[in-house]
Structure 1
Protein backbone atom coordinates (compact mmCIF):
# COMPACT_ATOMS: atom_id res chain seq x y z
CA UNK A 1 0.00 0.00 0.00
CA UNK A 2 1.48 3.38 -0.93
CA UNK A 3 1.24 6.56 1.14
CA UNK A 4 -1.70 7.84 -0.88
CA UNK A 5 -3.67 4.68 -0.19
CA UNK A 6 -2.83 4.76 3.53
CA UNK A 7 -3.91 8.34 3.90
CA UNK A 8 -6.80 8.16 1.46
CA UNK A 9 -7.35 10.04 -1.72
CA UNK A 10 -9.68 12.51 -0.03
CA UNK A 11 -8.95 16.17 0.30
CA UNK A 12 -8.20 15.74 4.01
CA UNK A 13 -5.86 12.84 3.25
CA UNK A 14 -3.96 14.97 0.82
CA UNK A 15 -3.77 17.76 3.40
CA UNK A 16 -2.41 15.33 5.98
CA UNK A 17 0.26 14.10 3.57
CA UNK A 18 1.13 17.69 2.71
CA UNK A 19 1.55 18.51 6.38
CA UNK A 20 3.80 15.50 6.93
CA UNK A 21 5.85 16.50 3.93
CA UNK A 22 6.70 19.82 5.61
CA UNK A 23 7.97 18.25 8.85
CA UNK A 24 11.40 16.85 9.66
CA UNK A 25 11.90 13.26 10.79
CA UNK A 26 12.63 14.55 14.30
CA UNK A 27 9.33 16.44 14.36
CA UNK A 28 7.38 13.45 13.06
CA UNK A 29 8.98 11.18 15.69
CA UNK A 30 8.11 13.66 18.44
CA UNK A 31 4.51 13.95 17.23
CA UNK A 32 4.14 10.16 17.07
CA UNK A 33 4.02 10.24 20.89
CA UNK A 34 0.38 10.58 22.08
CA UNK A 35 1.60 12.50 25.14
CA UNK A 36 3.19 15.07 22.86
CA UNK A 37 -0.05 15.62 20.97
CA UNK A 38 -2.02 16.03 24.20
CA UNK A 39 0.62 18.42 25.56
CA UNK A 40 0.61 20.64 22.47
CA UNK A 41 -3.19 20.83 22.39
CA UNK A 42 -3.27 21.76 26.07
CA UNK A 43 -0.51 24.34 25.76
CA UNK A 44 -2.38 26.10 22.97
CA UNK A 45 -4.78 27.45 25.61
CA UNK A 46 -2.80 27.03 28.86
CA UNK A 47 0.69 28.35 28.31
CA UNK A 48 2.70 28.52 30.45
CA UNK A 49 1.93 25.56 32.67
CA UNK A 50 3.73 23.25 35.06
CA UNK A 51 5.00 19.74 34.51
CA UNK A 52 2.63 18.50 37.22
CA UNK A 53 -0.41 20.11 35.59
CA UNK A 54 0.59 18.70 32.23
CA UNK A 55 0.92 15.29 33.90
CA UNK A 56 -2.65 15.67 35.17
CA UNK A 57 -3.89 16.44 31.65
CA UNK A 58 -2.03 13.54 30.03
CA UNK A 59 -3.18 11.12 32.71
CA UNK A 60 -6.78 12.28 32.37
CA UNK A 61 -6.59 11.99 28.60
CA UNK A 62 -5.30 8.41 28.83
CA UNK A 63 -8.01 7.48 31.34
CA UNK A 64 -10.72 8.97 29.13
CA UNK A 65 -9.40 7.17 26.04
CA UNK A 66 -9.27 3.78 27.77
CA UNK A 67 -12.26 4.14 30.07
CA UNK A 68 -10.07 3.42 33.06
CA UNK A 69 -9.38 5.11 36.36
CA UNK A 70 -5.88 6.52 36.69
CA UNK A 71 -4.17 6.50 40.04
CA UNK A 72 -1.15 8.31 41.45
CA UNK A 73 1.31 5.75 40.06
CA UNK A 74 0.06 6.34 36.50
CA UNK A 75 0.32 10.09 37.02
CA UNK A 76 3.89 9.71 38.30
CA UNK A 77 4.84 7.53 35.33
CA UNK A 78 3.44 10.14 32.95
CA UNK A 79 5.29 12.98 34.67
CA UNK A 80 8.55 11.02 34.42
CA UNK A 81 7.97 10.27 30.73
CA UNK A 82 7.08 13.91 30.03
CA UNK A 83 10.18 15.14 31.87
CA UNK A 84 12.69 12.72 30.35
CA UNK A 85 11.29 12.04 26.89
CA UNK A 86 8.29 13.96 25.59
CA UNK A 87 9.08 17.53 26.60
CA UNK A 88 12.78 17.38 25.67
CA UNK A 89 11.77 16.04 22.24
CA UNK A 90 9.21 18.81 21.74
CA UNK A 91 11.75 21.37 22.98
CA UNK A 92 14.36 20.08 20.52
CA UNK A 93 11.82 20.62 17.73
CA UNK A 94 11.19 24.17 18.92
CA UNK A 95 7.50 23.47 19.65
CA UNK A 96 7.79 24.15 23.38
CA UNK A 97 10.19 25.72 25.83
CA UNK A 98 10.74 23.34 28.71
CA UNK A 99 12.67 24.44 31.79
CA UNK A 100 13.68 21.15 33.38
CA UNK A 101 14.93 22.93 36.50
CA UNK A 102 11.74 24.72 37.52
CA UNK A 103 9.46 22.31 35.59
CA UNK A 104 7.62 24.92 33.57
CA UNK A 105 6.46 24.51 29.99
CA UNK A 106 5.35 27.08 27.47
CA UNK A 107 4.28 26.86 23.89
CA UNK A 108 6.94 28.13 21.50
CA UNK A 109 6.70 28.01 17.72
CA UNK A 110 4.26 25.37 16.53
CA UNK A 111 4.04 25.42 12.71
CA UNK A 112 0.72 25.37 10.88
CA UNK A 113 1.62 21.93 9.50
CA UNK A 114 1.65 20.57 13.07
CA UNK A 115 -1.73 22.10 13.88
CA UNK A 116 -3.09 20.56 10.66
CA UNK A 117 -1.94 17.13 11.85
CA UNK A 118 -3.25 17.63 15.38
CA UNK A 119 -6.70 18.46 14.01
CA UNK A 120 -6.83 15.03 12.36
CA UNK A 121 -4.91 12.86 14.84
CA UNK A 122 -6.41 10.79 17.65
Structure 2
Protein backbone atom coordinates (compact mmCIF):
# COMPACT_ATOMS: atom_id res chain seq x y z
CA UNK A 1 0.00 0.00 0.00
CA UNK A 2 1.44 3.38 -1.00
CA UNK A 3 1.45 6.45 1.22
CA UNK A 4 -1.34 7.93 -0.90
CA UNK A 5 -3.41 4.76 -0.47
CA UNK A 6 -2.86 4.91 3.31
CA UNK A 7 -3.88 8.57 3.42
CA UNK A 8 -6.98 7.86 1.36
CA UNK A 9 -7.92 4.96 3.63
CA UNK A 10 -7.46 7.14 6.74
CA UNK A 11 -9.59 9.88 5.20
CA UNK A 12 -12.27 7.37 4.26
CA UNK A 13 -12.39 6.03 7.81
CA UNK A 14 -12.62 9.54 9.24
CA UNK A 15 -15.52 10.50 6.98
CA UNK A 16 -17.37 7.18 6.90
CA UNK A 17 -20.68 7.59 8.70
CA UNK A 18 -21.04 3.83 9.06
CA UNK A 19 -24.10 2.01 10.30
CA UNK A 20 -26.15 2.66 13.39
CA UNK A 21 -24.35 -0.20 15.18
CA UNK A 22 -21.00 1.37 14.39
CA UNK A 23 -22.08 4.80 15.62
CA UNK A 24 -23.16 3.74 19.10
CA UNK A 25 -21.56 6.09 21.60
CA UNK A 26 -19.01 4.71 24.00
CA UNK A 27 -19.87 4.23 27.64
CA UNK A 28 -17.97 7.42 28.52
CA UNK A 29 -19.92 9.40 25.91
CA UNK A 30 -23.20 8.01 27.24
CA UNK A 31 -22.17 8.94 30.81
CA UNK A 32 -21.36 12.50 29.73
CA UNK A 33 -24.71 12.78 27.93
CA UNK A 34 -26.57 11.32 30.90
CA UNK A 35 -24.89 13.76 33.30
CA UNK A 36 -25.76 16.67 31.01
CA UNK A 37 -29.40 15.57 30.77
CA UNK A 38 -29.71 15.22 34.56
CA UNK A 39 -28.24 18.71 35.09
CA UNK A 40 -30.49 20.22 32.43
CA UNK A 41 -33.58 18.55 33.89
CA UNK A 42 -32.85 20.47 37.09
CA UNK A 43 -32.38 23.69 35.12
CA UNK A 44 -35.64 23.16 33.22
CA UNK A 45 -37.57 22.42 36.40
CA UNK A 46 -36.16 25.52 38.11
CA UNK A 47 -37.03 27.71 35.13
CA UNK A 48 -33.41 28.55 34.29
CA UNK A 49 -33.86 26.82 30.92
CA UNK A 50 -37.08 27.05 28.91
CA UNK A 51 -39.16 23.92 28.32
CA UNK A 52 -39.97 25.21 24.86
CA UNK A 53 -38.07 24.13 21.78
CA UNK A 54 -38.53 25.70 18.39
CA UNK A 55 -37.57 24.77 14.88
CA UNK A 56 -37.85 26.30 11.47
CA UNK A 57 -38.98 24.01 8.67
CA UNK A 58 -41.38 25.23 5.99
CA UNK A 59 -42.41 21.76 4.79
CA UNK A 60 -42.99 20.42 8.28
CA UNK A 61 -44.96 23.54 9.17
CA UNK A 62 -47.17 23.06 6.12
CA UNK A 63 -47.66 19.38 6.91
CA UNK A 64 -48.61 19.87 10.56
CA UNK A 65 -50.92 22.80 9.80
CA UNK A 66 -52.56 20.84 6.97
CA UNK A 67 -53.12 17.94 9.36
CA UNK A 68 -54.79 20.38 11.76
CA UNK A 69 -56.94 21.98 9.06
CA UNK A 70 -58.11 18.65 7.65
CA UNK A 71 -58.79 17.12 11.05
CA UNK A 72 -56.16 14.42 10.59
CA UNK A 73 -53.87 15.54 13.40
CA UNK A 74 -55.67 13.32 15.94
CA UNK A 75 -55.21 10.24 13.76
CA UNK A 76 -51.50 10.94 13.40
CA UNK A 77 -51.24 11.50 17.15
CA UNK A 78 -53.01 8.19 17.78
CA UNK A 79 -50.68 6.38 15.37
CA UNK A 80 -47.61 7.84 17.08
CA UNK A 81 -48.95 6.93 20.52
CA UNK A 82 -49.68 3.39 19.33
CA UNK A 83 -46.18 3.10 17.90
CA UNK A 84 -44.72 4.16 21.25
CA UNK A 85 -47.12 2.03 23.31
CA UNK A 86 -48.75 5.05 24.95
CA UNK A 87 -52.45 4.99 25.81
CA UNK A 88 -54.66 7.09 23.54
CA UNK A 89 -55.80 10.46 24.81
CA UNK A 90 -59.53 11.13 24.61
CA UNK A 91 -58.86 14.86 24.24
CA UNK A 92 -57.12 14.33 20.90
CA UNK A 93 -53.69 15.50 19.86
CA UNK A 94 -52.41 19.02 19.50
CA UNK A 95 -49.53 20.23 17.39
CA UNK A 96 -47.05 20.15 20.27
CA UNK A 97 -47.90 16.59 21.25
CA UNK A 98 -47.62 15.30 17.68
CA UNK A 99 -44.20 16.91 17.27
CA UNK A 100 -43.08 15.61 20.67
CA UNK A 101 -44.18 12.07 19.84
CA UNK A 102 -42.66 12.22 16.35
CA UNK A 103 -39.28 13.21 17.79
CA UNK A 104 -39.44 10.29 20.20
CA UNK A 105 -40.29 7.85 17.40
CA UNK A 106 -37.45 9.28 15.31
CA UNK A 107 -34.94 8.97 18.14
CA UNK A 108 -36.09 5.45 18.88
CA UNK A 109 -35.53 4.47 15.26
CA UNK A 110 -32.36 6.41 14.48
CA UNK A 111 -30.59 6.65 17.83
CA UNK A 112 -32.05 4.15 20.32
CA UNK A 113 -28.95 4.37 22.50
CA UNK A 114 -29.48 8.10 22.95
CA UNK A 115 -33.10 7.54 23.93
CA UNK A 116 -32.03 4.85 26.42
CA UNK A 117 -29.49 7.24 27.94
CA UNK A 118 -32.26 9.85 28.26
CA UNK A 119 -34.47 7.30 30.04
CA UNK A 120 -31.66 6.44 32.44
CA UNK A 121 -31.02 10.14 33.08
CA UNK A 122 -34.70 10.74 33.78
CA UNK A 123 -34.80 7.81 36.21
CA UNK A 124 -31.62 9.02 37.93
CA UNK A 125 -33.02 12.54 38.16
CA UNK A 126 -36.24 11.25 39.73
CA UNK A 127 -34.29 9.08 42.19
CA UNK A 128 -32.06 12.01 43.15
CA UNK A 129 -35.16 14.12 43.87
CA UNK A 130 -36.71 11.40 46.06
TM-score (norm 1): 0.27
Return the index of the structure with the highest Cα Rg. 2
- The structure in which a higher percent of residues are strand is 1
TM-score (norm 2): 0.26
